[in-house]
Structure 1
C-alpha cells in the first residue's frame, strides 16, 4: 500500500529552524556591540591614563602637578574646564566696562576677602556700617536675608554691589553650606562669616588681615570690647589691651583651669562662632565640617582647630588690636527692637535655644561615631 508524502511536518521544522537562526544571529550582534563598547571604554581609559603620564612627565613627574579628570569633567577637553568661580557681578551690558574694572581693581588689592552675613531688615543700619568698611577695601559683601525682605535694602547706595540671597528663617551656617562651597569662593584669600550685630567703629578689615598674615594665623576672630559689649560668653574672646594677638586665656577656676599646659579649647586654639575669619585653606576644611541639617552650628567652634592647617595653639587666635563690639541683639525668632517683646517672640527664642542644644548633642555624637569608625584617622591633638 502506498502512503502520501508528509509535507506538513517538514514545512513546520523549516520555519522553526529559520526562527532559531535569526535569534542566534541577533544575540551574537548584541554581544558584539557590548564588546565593542567595552573595548572603546578601555581604549579611552588607557589613552587618558597615558595622557596623564605624559603631562606628569612634562611637569617633572610629580603627582602634585598633575591635572586630574576625575572631577565630573571627564568628557571635556582640559582647556575648557573652569575649576572654581567667584562672586563678581557681571552686567548684561558694557562687558568691557564695569565687570572688567571690578576685576582689575580687585587684582591690585593685597588680599581678596569675602564678608558673608545672615541679616534682617531690623539691623540694616548696623549692617550698612559694616558693609561700607569692607566695600571701601574692594572686598566682596554677600548678604543672606533670613526675613524675606530684600527690597528694603535697595535704598542703600552699595546695595547693587552686594550679593543678595534669600531663604526665610535660615542661619548663616545653613547659607554658608549651600552658597559658600570652597570651589565657589576659591578666589578669596579670607572668608568673614559674621553675625549682623557687631559694632565695627574701631575695626579696620585691611589692618586685621595684615595682622592675621604676619602672625601666621589661619582661623581668627576680632576681640570683643569688654566695656561696650553686652553679651560676652567666653573669657578668651575679651580684648587684651596690652597685646596685638592672644592665642590662649589663663583661668584658675576649677571649671576651666586654663594654664600654659592647656592644649585645646576653650583655653587655646579656639574662637567663637560669632565672628570667625578663615583663610582659604581653613575654609576648605571647615565647609566639610558643617553639617547639612544642624543649622545652628553649635559644637563647630570646639572642632574648628582641626582645620587650622597645623597646631591649633599657634594657628588659631584672637586679634586684640582690631576689635569689635558684640551688641547681643536677637535675630532669628527675636522681636523688633522698636516694639515691646511679644509673647510669641519669647516662645520662638525658647524653641530655638532648645533646638540649638539638641543639635549640639547630635554633633558630638556624630563626631564620636566618625572617630570610632574611621580606622585610618589619627587625632593630631590626642594627649
Structure 2
C-alpha cells in the first residue's frame, strides 16, 4: 500500500515530537540549574573552577542549601556558630569547661526598700540549681552586697523601669534558652510556704508550660483573680467554677480567666513557652497589662491542660507599692524623664498615675491584638476551634 509522504511525516511527528520536547525541556532545566550554581558565590571557589565531579558538586550544594543556620551566621562555618547564651558568670584567670547547663532562672525587678523580702525569695532558689537576676529599678546595687547570694547574681540597673521593660531587653529567648524554667516575679511576695525545687517537680509531672504558685487569700493583702486562690484539696488546678451575673465559668469554658490563665505577678515559663511569651511583650508597653489574657497561646498545646496554678506550693501577696511610689511634683510630663520621683511632696499621686497609664496600655494592647488577628489571615485561634467542636 502506498503511503503518502505527508501522512508518514505526521506519523513520525506524533511518535517523536512529545519525546523530543520532553528531552529538550529536561536538558534546558538541568543546564539552567547547573549554571545557577556556577554563578553563585556560595558554590564556587576562588578561581571559579569546580572542585570535583559535577555530581559531587551538585549533591554538596543541595545539602548545603538544606541546612538551617541562625540569621546572620551564613558567612561562618557551621561548627563555630554559638546560637545561644546564658547568664552564668565565667572566671577571668582559669578555663571554664563547656558543659550542659541544668538550671532555671529567677528574674525580679527589685528596689532597696524590698531588700528583706527579695532576700527571702532568693534563699528559696538554691544557687546550685538556679541563676538569680535582679533588675534594680532604683539604681541602688552596692547596698545588696552583704547578702550571701549577691556575688553569684546578675545585676542590671535602669532607673524607674518595670520588670517587663527589663525582660524585653535583657531576657531574649536566645540568651536564656539554656534555662529549663524561667521565673519572672514581683518583689512583694511571701515565700514561707514555697520551695522552688518542689515546685518544679510538680510542674514537670503535671506537664505545665506556664504556671504560677497559688495565693493564700487569708494571708495576702491583695488577691485580684479567683483562679489564683489556693485550693487546699488539690495539688494543681487549671480552671475555676463561678456564676456571678455576667461572670460565668463552667466545664465547657475554654477561655481566660476561667482556664488557661495565670497572673503577671509571678508567672513561671518553660523554655519554649518563654520564647513565645517574649514576642508577646510589647516593646513600648512596659506594665504588661492585658498580656495575661493571651499567655495561654504560648502554652505549647492545649492551654486548658498546659497552664495551671500550683496549690501545694503557694505564695503570699503583700501588695506593697514601691516602683514609682510617693507623690511627684506637678510638672509637664516628658517621655524622656526617667528620674525617680521623690518619696513625698505636693503634687500628683504617682501610684494613681502609674495605674492610669497601665490601664491605657491594656486598652492599647487589646486594640493591637484585635488588629493583628484581623490582618493575619493564616492565624487560627485554638480557643475558637475547641468551642466549635463543643
Give yes or no for TM over 0.5: yes
Given that 2:186 and 2:265 are in contact with CA atoms closer than 8 Å, whether structure 1 keeps it comes out as yes
Is 1:54 matched with 2:56?
no
| Distance of 2:315 and 2:128 partners within structure 1 | 18
Residue number in structure 2 paired with 1:87: 87
Deviation, structure 1 residue 353: 0.6
Residue number in structure 1 paired with 2:28: none
Deviations 1:222-250 (A, max 9, x none): 00011110010001100001100000011
Given that 1:189 and 1:279 are in contact with CA atoms closer than 8 Å, whether structure 2 keeps it comes out as yes
| Distance of 1:41 and 1:228 partners within structure 2 | 72
- The 3 A distance-change label for structure 1 pair 200 and 137 is farther
Is 1:143 matched with 2:145?
no
| Distance of 2:225 and 2:61 partners within structure 1 | 51
**RMSD over equivalenced CA pairs, Å:** 2.5
Does 124-133 or 187-196 show the bigger shift?
A: 124-133
Deviation, structure 1 residue 69: 2.7
Q: 1:304 aligns with which of 283, 286, 295?
A: 295
Residue number in structure 2 paired with 1:319: 310
Residue number in structure 2 paired with 1:199: 190
| Distance of 2:311 and 2:61 partners within structure 1 | 49
Residue number in structure 1 paired with 2:151: 160
Is 1:73 matched with 2:73?
yes
Q: 2:40 aligns with which of 39, 42, 62?
A: 42
Residue number in structure 2 paired with 1:6: none
Q: 1:375 aligns with which of 374, 377, 388?
A: 377
Given that 2:43 and 2:61 are in contact with CA atoms closer than 8 Å, whether structure 1 keeps it comes out as no
Given that 2:107 and 2:135 are in contact with CA atoms closer than 8 Å, whether structure 1 keeps it comes out as yes
Deviation, structure 1 residue 157: 2.0
Given that 2:193 and 2:315 are in contact with CA atoms closer than 8 Å, whether structure 1 keeps it comes out as yes
- The 3 A distance-change label for structure 1 pair 264 and 120 is same
Deviation, structure 1 residue 275: 0.2
Residue number in structure 2 paired with 1:235: 226
Q: 2:360 aligns with which of 358, 367, 378?
A: 358
Residue number in structure 2 paired with 1:172: 163
Deviations 1:127-149 (A, max 9, x none): 11111211355300000000011
Deviation, structure 1 residue 45: 5.7
| Distance of 1:260 and 1:349 partners within structure 2 | 38
Residue 283 of structure 1 aligns to a residue whose secondary structure is: helix
Residue number in structure 2 paired with 1:259: 250
- The 3 A distance-change label for structure 1 pair 264 and 144 is same
Residue number in structure 1 paired with 2:113: 122
Residue number in structure 2 paired with 1:18: none
| Distance of 1:316 and 1:154 partners within structure 2 | 37
Deviations 1:128-182 (A, max 9, x none): 1111211355300000000011111112121110000000011010100001100
Residue 352 of structure 1 aligns to a residue whose secondary structure is: helix
| Distance of 2:59 and 2:173 partners within structure 1 | 30
- The 3 A distance-change label for structure 1 pair 280 and 237 is same
Deviation, structure 1 residue 354: 0.8
Is 1:225 matched with 2:227?
no
- The 3 A distance-change label for structure 1 pair 303 and 332 is same
Q: 1:331 aligns with which of 319, 322, 330?
A: 322
Aligned residues: 325
Deviation, structure 1 residue 252: 1.1
Deviation, structure 1 residue 55: 6.3
Gaps of 5+ in 2: 1-35, 46-56, 328-342
